[in-house]
Structure 1
Amino acid sequence: MKPFWGRQHVAIAAMGLCLVYSEAAHAQEIQERGRTSYMPLDQTEPFADVMARMKAEKPKVTARHQQLLNQRYDLGNRPARGLTMSRGKAVQEGVRVKLPQGVTWDSLAAMSPEAIRDKGLFPGGLMPLPHPNHPEGGMLFPRFHIEEIKRQEGRDLTRFDLDFDLPDHLLPEFPPPIFLTTRPDLGDVSQGKLVTLMNVQELFNGILNPKQLEGLRLLVTPFPQQQFNQTADRRSELPSRGVTCFDCHVNGHSNGATHLVGDIRPQEFRHRIETPTLRGVNIQRLFGSQRALKTVEDFTEFEQRAAYFDGDPVIATKKGVNVLERGSQVHFMAEFQALLDFPPAPKLRFDGKLDPKKATESELRGQALFFGKAQCSVCHLPPYYTDNLMHNLRAERFYKPRLVNGAVMGADGPIKTFPLRGIKESPPYLHDGRLLTLEDTVEFFNLMLETRLNEQEKKDLVSFMRVL
């Protein structure tokens, strides 16, 4: 791949300047095209050597990413007083994105996107979030999930090269409750358990019909995946049975597990993807944060055949792709997913808006802002707070492209409008998890939409979103 400039000196006679591009500068230059779209098929380095090398590199890789997180965020445990998720986990509060020296959120909001970009003042925590090892990528699970799967199934989702990056207190509660559209009278049907192959019959026989039960069984059945398989080209110490759909979408919700999207090349342009909840799939019309797949059946097949293997069908064949039968297996899986409901929201009326007799003054002010000055309802329409469309925020207006830990800080492109019902239970936020709290999210959109909310308005808006 040829760089934009040669490795020789380039003279610009009119200006009397001489630009010298060293090898180090070239290493940091953003390359718009990769050398190839295909992954290496034949691993010639012995697996034991690969594992030893990556284990040795792990402390350095981890430290580099942790340094980036510490530069961008306050990762402390600061729970909101008296505010919990459905099963009691504390909701984290406060803006966690760190500001550049000498600016405030108000002073930033008063500047134009061009001025913020030209002065380099856009906060790093609002830029794309790299994978913990972006050049390597791959599925990565929180430790609490790894330990529970090992306890129940003896299946190990540990990667020998990498650990999950965000602290537990910034992630959804585990295991999350399960609410069904067909049996709202039962409340949480998970009984406080993580649903796996070991207990799926015990928990759901007598609640689901046989088709739905079979669909759920498939959703908790391990199948080979890029990093977890039985070939030597894996990232698990022992040959692995693979991963399940519900290893990321835990109990039909999320545990914050991360990955890289499979359909972008070269590697540094691939976006980190934070696992979205499956709650409310029945009311959605687009699937995949940026891919706009039209049905949940399409998404199920896309995940198994493509996303599991970084979009490479040859690698998928080598590692044991699971080809699902559309008319039965995919249909059964989709039928169960369509039953997953949002958590109860006792302060909302049937139309998705606040009941004035139950809401606080702050929540009511937040609702007025949501549908007015803050412009949230342009995309997030009640009762489920989505418009089922894609929107391009053009965040790249605010910063210059650069390479950070192997990831290009560039354009995100169109992103689907995620439903906001139950949003307080789904941290972190945005498609790549770059926003750790709802307060961070309000600051991000205050800049994106140039709405210039004051401090009290921001607090009221967060109060409203917490009760959705």
Structure 2
Amino acid sequence: MRKALSATLALVAAGFASAAQAQVSDKPPSSYSPVVTTEPFATILSRMQAEKPAVMRRQFDLLNERYDLANRAAAGVTMARGKPVQDGVRVKLPAGQSWDRLGAMRPEEIRDRDQFPKGFLPLPHPNHPEGGMVFPKFHIDEIKRQEARDLTRFDLDFDLPDHLLPEFPAPIFLTTRPDLGDVAQGKLLTIDNFFELFNGVLNPKQLEGLRLLLTPFPQQQFNQTEDRRSERPSRGVTCFDCHANGHTNASTHLVGDIRPQPFRHRIDTPSLRGVNIQRLFGSQRALKSIEDFTEFEQRAAYFDGDPVTATKKGVNVLERGSQVHFMAEFQALLDFPPAPKLNVMGRLDRSKANESELRGEAIFFGKGQCAACHAPPYYTDNLMHNLRVERFYKPQTVNGRMAAADGPIKTFPLRGIKDSPPYLHDGRLLTLDDTVEFFNLVLELKLTQPEKTDLLAFLRAL
């Protein structure tokens, strides 16, 4: 009798366990990240370190399938401090295809025949199911040298080669002191050197704003809880860890405002140069001032848009009337790099431009239709546009990223564009040559090869 009762109770217990497992596996989707970590940190660390080689190999296999990643510089074309600009279309075509034949095909024909170049599909995060901030190694090394603050992740690394990224450290040009040229003097701006470099150049409000932009605060992957991706507890990240020197080092992340995880877009960090002329901010452009964006970053974007985990990890609540204003005031001073071939209206000075650049300008404002969104002098209309790229391909999941529809994306300024690779909102276009081919195909422009070459020359002159 007792054995039978024990057996019955065991079956009941097993039934409850199965039901509990079913509830866990069948639980409805949630907008919230888990708050309570269920594994010891040492276990998480060991597991993710062991998985890292396979994670990175999967991403590098994807990049090599999509792109030519060679270091091939354009002759005589450099960024503001002299780093060579990479040359050539790097997106690989489907076997047996050519850009001219592809440009002659209808979108639905490209989709049905699976001829859309894979490099034009949305680019996944280095580990899309995991996500989070990832920094290039050159930035990690310099921050470690200056501040002894480690931005290394134990679970993954940055994925794109250094030669395809912006120059580092980038120069800083100020709208208030153009006579100074690069006020960063070839250095990476940090909490250690900002006062030495900017005391006497900025007013006290701007200097305090810069200090805050360089101060580390807790973030989703870099914080002092057990739910982090740095081996040691971290003081956090700074605004200028991604927007290095008020520009960009191409650090990546996932947008915080889309759910579920596979639909979140990879972010290519945009430059803050010329931010004073911009009017839309945030990945979905819901923020209408740089003050809004500065406050939002600290409260939400640092924590994948989840204020619940932000509370746990140490959200930094900035005071709007002083701190946010001071930070925004400094950002508004960041200027575009000099463009000696442009006149005061942002058009080419005919006495300085060559024939290819002048022909490219005519294409930009004519057959290329670029100026419909990118109006001079700063080459933006401060609006959102939906390119509807999804009409060229069937929905598909790539390395955890659901390639469906991007939706509306912001018109970024094109001034100084050669200094800001990679391109598009998720960095899927590695060179300006790729960008010309992408828009030629997506906008169905049917540009000839000489027209593409001339358009590229004009873009490099901006």
Fold equivalence (TM over 0.5): yes
Distance 2:134 2:33 in 1: 20
Aligned AA (1:147): D
Find the counterpart in structure 2 of residue 103 from structure 1: 97
Find the counterpart in structure 2 of residue 223 from structure 1: 217
What pairs up with 1:117-128 in 2 under 5 angstroms?
Answer: 117-128=111-122
Find the counterpart in structure 2 of residue 29 from structure 1: none
What pairs up with 1:304-319 in 2 under 5 angstroms?
Answer: 304-319=298-313
Indicate whether 1:275 and 2:269 are aligned.
yes
Find the counterpart in structure 1 of residue 256 from structure 2: 262
Find the counterpart in structure 2 of residue 30 from structure 1: none
Alignment check: 8 A CA contact 2:257 2:283 kept = no
**Equivalent residue for 1:284, pick from 278, 282, 288:** 278
3-state SS of paired residue (2:166): coil
Distance 1:34 1:217 in 2: 43
> Could you report, residue by residue, the CA deviation over 1:100-151 in whole angstroms, capped at 9, with x for unpaired residues?
0121111111011111001110001001000000000000000000000000
> Could you report, residue by residue, the CA deviation over 1:241-269 in whole angstroms, capped at 9, with x for unpaired residues?
00000000000000000000001000000
**Equivalent residue for 2:369, pick from 352, 370, 375:** 375
Indicate whether 1:188 and 2:182 are aligned.
yes
> Could you report, residue by residue, the CA deviation over 1:170-225 in whole angstroms, capped at 9, with x for unpaired residues?
00000000000000111110011100010010000000000000000000000000
What pairs up with 1:123-202 in 2 under 5 angstroms?
Answer: 123-202=117-196
State the identity as a percent: 78
Find the counterpart in structure 2 of residue 406 from structure 1: 400
RMSD: 0.9
3-state SS of paired residue (1:311): coil
Find the counterpart in structure 1 of residue 339 from structure 2: 345
Task: Give the TM-score normalised by structure 1.
Answer: 0.92
> Could you report, residue by residue, the CA deviation over 1:58-101 in whole angstroms, capped at 9, with x for unpaired residues?
00000001100000000000001111111110000100000001
**Equivalent residue for 1:464, pick from 436, 458, 461:** 458
Distance 1:288 1:232 in 2: 28
Aligned AA (1:340): L
Q: Provide closer, same or farther for how the CA distance between residues 325 and 193 of structure 1 changes in structure 2, counting only shifts above 3 A.
A: same
3-state SS of paired residue (1:273): strand
Distance 2:277 2:256 in 1: 25
Q: Provide closer, same or farther for how the CA distance between residues 76 and 369 of structure 1 changes in structure 2, counting only shifts above 3 A.
A: same
What pairs up with 1:201-220 in 2 under 5 angstroms?
Answer: 201-220=195-214
Find the counterpart in structure 2 of residue 234 from structure 1: 228
What stretches of structure 2 of length at least 5 have no aligned partner?
1-26
Indicate whether 1:365 and 2:356 are aligned.
no
Find the counterpart in structure 2 of residue 3 from structure 1: none
Alignment check: 8 A CA contact 1:365 1:460 kept = yes
3-state SS of paired residue (1:359): coil
Distance 1:353 1:103 in 2: 36
Runs (4+) of structure 1 moved beyond 3 Å? none
> Could you report, residue by residue, the CA deviation over 1:278-322 in whole angstroms, capped at 9, with x for unpaired residues?
000111111124324100011111111111001111100000000
> Could you report, residue by residue, the CA deviation over 1:410-454 in whole angstroms, capped at 9, with x for unpaired residues?
111111100000000000000000000000000000011100001
Indicate whether 1:113 and 2:97 are aligned.
no
Aligned length: 436
Distance 1:283 1:262 in 2: 24
Find the counterpart in structure 2 of residue 432 from structure 1: 426
Distance 1:102 1:292 in 2: 43
| CA shift for structure 1 position 44 | 1.6
Find the counterpart in structure 1 of residue 81 from structure 2: 87
Aligned AA (1:311): G
Alignment check: 8 A CA contact 2:255 2:283 kept = no
| CA shift for structure 1 position 34 | 7.0
Find the counterpart in structure 2 of residue 77 from structure 1: 71
3-state SS of paired residue (1:80): strand
What pairs up with 1:28-67 in 2 under 5 angstroms?
Answer: 35-67=29-61
Distance 2:176 2:235 in 1: 33
Aligned AA (2:190): T
Distance 1:124 1:328 in 2: 47
Distance 2:91 2:424 in 1: 14
Aligned AA (2:193): N
Distance 1:39 1:389 in 2: 32
